[in-house]
């Protein structure tokens, strides 16, 4: 089944957990997902002072919006209100979050038209 239909709801009714491969201090809240295609929408939270060590790539498109705080990657500072659109295979990270961060992310595969 594709992502479940959900009308407005409070995401705090869902459970935060640490995503696989991420360090302590990073938590995700899956808002919607299609387990068959591994497409999902999530909130990703970085506690203040968190640093990741991995360079990431994904087999899908990833769109990210920074809701709060900010992230640093290779001396570039990304702050509240900034967005990223990453095609499959694009390298990104590692990240530092000195003041913490909250992002909204959508991971999806391009339609096969």
Question: Which DSSP symbol is given to 13?
Answer: G
Q: What is the model's pTM?
A: 0.91
pLDDT tens profile 60-112 = 999 999 999 999 999 999 999 999 999 999 999 999 999 999 999 999 997 65
Q: How many CB atoms sit inside 10 A of residue 35's CB?
A: 9
Q: Which domains does the chain have, with CATH numbers?
A: 24-108 (2.60.120.10)
pLDDT tens profile 9-36 = 999 899 999 999 899 999 999 999 999 9
For residues 35 and 111, give the distance between their C-alpha atoms in angstroms, rounded to a whole number. 17
| Tokens linked to 68 | 């709060």
């Amino acid at each position: 089944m594709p992502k479940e239909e959900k009308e407005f709801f409070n995401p705090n009714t869902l459970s935060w957990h640490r995503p696989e491969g991420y360090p302590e201090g990073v938590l995700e809240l899956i808002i919607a997902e299609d387990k068959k295609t591994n497409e999902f929408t999530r909130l990703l939270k970085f506690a203040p002072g968190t640093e990741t060590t991995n360079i990431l790539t994904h087999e899908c498109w990833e769109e990210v919006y920074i809701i709060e705080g900010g992230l640093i990657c290779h001396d570039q500072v990304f702050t509240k209100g900034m967005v990223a659109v990453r095609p499959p295979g694009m390298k990104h990270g590692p990240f530092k979050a000195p003041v913490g961060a909250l992002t909204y992310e959508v991971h999806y595969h391009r339609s096969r038209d």
